[in-house]
Structure 1
Amino acid sequence: MRSLSIGLVVVACFLAVGWWWGRPQPMPVQLVAVERGPVETLVANTRAGTLKSCRRSHLSFNIGGQVSELLVDEGQRVEAGQVLMRLRQDDRLARVQEAEARLEAKRNAREQSCRQAKLDQRDLQRLERLAARKLLAADRLDQAETRARLAQLACTSSAASIREADANLALQRSLLDQANLRAPFSGTVAQINGELGEYVTPSPPGIPTPPAVDLIDDSCLYVDAPIDEVDAGRVRIGMPVRISLDAFRGRTFAGQVSRIAPFVRELEKQARTVDVEVRFVQLPVDVTLLTGYSADVEILLEQSAGGLRIPTETLLEGRRVLRYDPATGMLREVALNTGLANWRWTEVLGGLQEGERILASLDQEGLEDGIAVISADQPESRR
């Protein structure tokens, strides 16, 4: 009997050891710790936005003519009022010179007529003194009065002739200046459509033609981005914005909402958007921003500075997570009370403590409440 008992004990030990070595092993998983950090509620654009200039002018001549001078190059920076292109203007210059000569002649004629009027007036005064002493015939005095009045009228009317000649000179100078294409503001020349000797004509009504010069004001830039109509109602002018450009990946620029379109854009039946304009708080000086860059915006609606947070991808339906229990080595389902959230982080108001670890990814199959797991960061042991 004693030998039988010893044999049964040995068999039991072998069975226990076999079960221990053959038991289901804990599944290796990635765990993430509950930490403190900022959580933001954001609104992002639904399609790529575009970097635009606050002022951009497609400059053209309002008269036809032959290009005689190209005074700038593409990419060159110009100042307000600077001449960019000039048409042949010898005929207009001749008209200006003619108007200047006519004005000078009118001024000389006025000087002569006014001097003559003064002379006739002095003669009249002398004759009046003689007539008072009965030394002059009445008809002689009458003739002197008539000459003085006519001379004064000629002097007065010459002033109107001078104003007319001056106005004509201003007109000719204005027509001459129309042959000069000037920059309405300081900026950068983006494109030039015109060559020396080429004849340019203004656009006929309803038929657009390429501008002679495309001028961009690069001192003021903004992003025009479409926001889903569902989110547009929460956006307000002045809200802070993070701007990211595909040309400078990994970098963001500070901005503010400067305009919200007063209508919904219906490009597609199921994708209605509202255009939002975002201005840069300060233009960067270490990079060159080009109009036309694609851009994305994140409009900050709310922010929690230092509360508990977890990655949003760790949440199950119903605001639940799988928490790792270090005492049993198992996952336990926990219901949470959450606050602010975005695509990356979710604020935890209750249900978890700082430092506790939860399942980092829901992609792995077979994970549920009560499953034994081991962190992939720790070596797995069978002892």
Structure 2
Amino acid sequence: MHKTKILSRWLILLIIAALLSYAGWYFTRKPPVEVEVATITRGTVEATVVNTRAGTVKACRRAKLAPAVGGQIIKLPVDEGDRVKQGDILLKLWNADLVAQHELAKQQWVTAKSRQREACIMADNAKRESIRTQQLVAQGFISSQRAEEADANAQARQANCAASAADVKRSQAQIEVTQANLDRTILYAPFAGIIAQVTGELGEYTMPSPPGIPTPPAIDLIDDSCLYVTAPMDEIDAPKIKIRQEARITLDALPGQTFAGAVRRIAPYVTEIEKQARTVDVEVNFTEGSNYALLVGYSADVEVIIDRHEQVLRIPTQAIRQQSKVLVLDQHDRIEERTIETGLANWAFTEIISGLKEGEQVLTSFDNEDIAAGVIVKPRTNQS
């Protein structure tokens, strides 16, 4: 009986000591490491390529215009920012002498036309007279010599009529020459657009650029109804890009906005700006229309979609560690390391072929050195 009491006391003491030890461990233990996790879901994964340097928004048509001849500006009806229609006058040079020459040419044409009419009337009359003379000769009323003279006169009059017609054509050509000279002093809009730049003022002298000597254009006209982006792609990525492939365009000036596009041209040569930076220029059209206010010259980035897989298992690309390994949480929030097989991938998401199931959670942050297989952690869903 005495021994039983002693054993009971020892047992109580051991239980108390165990409880005290557990309490000490419980209140002094480290809390579970908090980690960011992402739930494996189904979605779209795309393989894409992006430009190596900033691209540029350009207009499908842009003309740097200057008159074909030099002269003094006497008319400048447009300002920078004005919208013009095709055929509108943009600039006019002093051309009073050419206008006078043009008027003289028109008057000469009128005179030549009148002379032609007179000559041809006389030729018709001479021809009829020759016919009557031939009839009188046949009847024996006059000599054959008179008939020959009448026929020669008719032929001469007909030649004069033909020469007058040639004079009319020459006068018409002279009018066209003087009109062409006049047109060279007037600058017309070759297409509808917006005036980007005007170089020169009323009364100033302007002239076209001599060969090999670039000078500022008198008028810089942009057709901003059609825009595209040109961007340099790495030479390694260029063979993957094809005409009409879908693309996304982003602009530094419009953060948060993405524009749909399509590849319209791939340069047939490699640009060597630096020996370590060889690129191929790719042009991408905007496919959403042009109902947004974009400025020619905006910097832009292009992401060309090479391939796309819909409704596949995917995880954030940042969750994949070296040698295609990921850290997965079990039902007790314990870390488990797995090796996975991947498919398409980009900077955001990677397709999972095998190794993971829908609904499982993978770690996306590894900055804590205590994170390892077998460790219990506290998950925090990654909202990005």
Q: Same fold (TM over 0.5)?
A: yes
Distance 1:141 1:331, change over 3 A: same
Task: Decide whether the 8 Å contact of 2:227 with 2:290 is kept in 1.
Answer: no
Could you tell me which of 226, 232, 235 is aligned with 2:238?
Answer: 232
What residue is the counterpart of 1:212 in the other structure?
218
**Structure 1 unaligned runs (5+)?**
378-383
Question: What's the offset of the Cα at 1:364?
Answer: 2.7
Report which stretch shifted further, 346-355 or 161-170: 346-355
- Residues 101, 284 of structure 1: CA spacing in aligned structure 2 closer, same or farther, 3 A cutoff? closer
* 1:173 partnered with 2:153: no
Contact 2:226/2:290 (8 A) holds in 1: no
Residue in 1 that maps onto 2:319: 314
138-147 or 191-200, larger mean C-alpha shift: 138-147
Provide Cα deviations, 1:300-328, integer angstroms capped at 9, x if missing partner. Answer: 1111211111111111101111111232x
Q: Which residue does the alignment assign to 2:257? A: 251
1:330 aligns with 2:334: yes
How big is the shift at 1:351? 1.4
- For residues 73-222 of structure 1, the aligned pairs below 5 Å read 73-222=79-228
Q: Does 1:37 align with 2:49?
A: no
Contact 1:64 1:201 in 2 (8 A): yes
Shift in Å at residue 372 of structure 1?
Answer: 2.2
- AA aligned opposite 1:118: D
Structure 2 CA distance for aligned equivalents of residues 366 and 7 of structure 1: 36
2:228 partner SS: strand
Which amino acid is the alignment partner of residue 244 of structure 1?
T
Distance 2:359 2:133 in 1: 120
- SS of corresponding position for 2:241: coil
2:78 to 43, 52, 72: 72
Q: What secondary structure is seen at the aligned counterpart in 2 of 1:233?
A: helix
Tell whether the 8 Å contact from 1:92 to 1:172 is kept in structure 2 after alignment.
yes
Find the aligned partners of 2:374 and 2:220 in 1 and give their Cα distance. 68
Do the aligned partners of 1:265 and 1:272 also contact (CA within 8 Å) in 2?
Answer: yes
Q: 1:108 to 1:26 in 2, by over 3 A?
A: same
Is 1:61 the equivalent of 2:56? no
Deviation at 1:240? 0.5
**Deviations 1:219-267 (Å, cap 9, x if unpaired)?**
2111001111111111111111111111211111111001111111111
For residues 265-289 of structure 1, what are the alpha-carbon distances to aligned partners after superposition, in whole Å with 9 as ceiling and x for unaligned? 111111211110001113242x211
Q: Confirm or deny that 1:354 pairs with 2:378.
A: no
CA distance in 2, matches of 1:376, 1:33: 11
What CA distance in whole angstroms lies between the structure 2 residues aligned with 1:113 and 1:324?
A: 109
| Equivalent residues of 2:130, 2:154 under 8 A apart | yes
Give the alignment's TM-score, normalised by structure 2: 0.93
Distance 2:16 2:130 in 1: 159
SS in 2 for 1:14: helix
User: Structure 2 counterpart of 1:92, which letter?
Assistant: L
**2:3 counterpart residue number:** none
Aligned-partner Cα distance in 1 for 2:128–2:18 = 152
Tell whether 2:376 aligns with 1:372. Answer: yes
Pair 15,126 (structure 1): closer, same or farther in 2 beyond 3 Å? closer
Aligned residues: 375
Q: Give 1:25's aligned residue.
A: 31
> Aligned partners of 1:299, 1:29: CA distance in 2, in Å?
34
The 1:30/1:128 distance shift into structure 2, 3 A limit, reads: closer
- What are structure 2's unaligned runs of at least 5 residues? 1-5
Identify which of 263, 266, 278 aligns with 2:269. 263
Identity of aligned residues (%): 44
Q: Does the CA contact (< 8 Å) of 1:228 and 1:272 recur in 2?
A: yes
Give 1:374 shift: 1.4
1:301 aligns to what?
306
Describe the SS at the equivalent of 2:142.
coil
CA distance in 1, matches of 2:80, 2:166: 48
Q: Distance in 2 between matches of 1:17 and 1:310?
A: 41
- Asked if the contact 1:78–1:189 (Cα under 8 Å) also holds between the matched residues in 2, the reply is yes
By how many angstroms is 1:139 displaced? Answer: 4.3
Q: 1:102 to 1:24 in 2, by over 3 A?
A: same
CA distance in 2, matches of 1:105, 1:20: 120
C-alpha displacement of 1:214: 0.5
Contact preservation (8 Å) 1:313, 1:362 = no
Deviations 1:177-219 (A, max 9, x none): 1111011111111111121111111211211111111111112
Contact 2:209-2:215 within 8 A present in 1 as well: yes
Counterpart amino acid of residue 250 in structure 1: G
- 1:288 paired with 2:286, answer no
How many Å apart are 1:9 and its aligned residue? 4.2
Cα distance in structure 2, aligned partners of 1:106 and 1:262: 58
Aligned-residue offset at 1:19: 2.9
User: In terms of mean alpha carbon deviation, does 137-146 or 164-173 score higher?
Assistant: 137-146
TM-score normalised over the length of structure 1: 0.93
Letter in 2 for 1:364: N
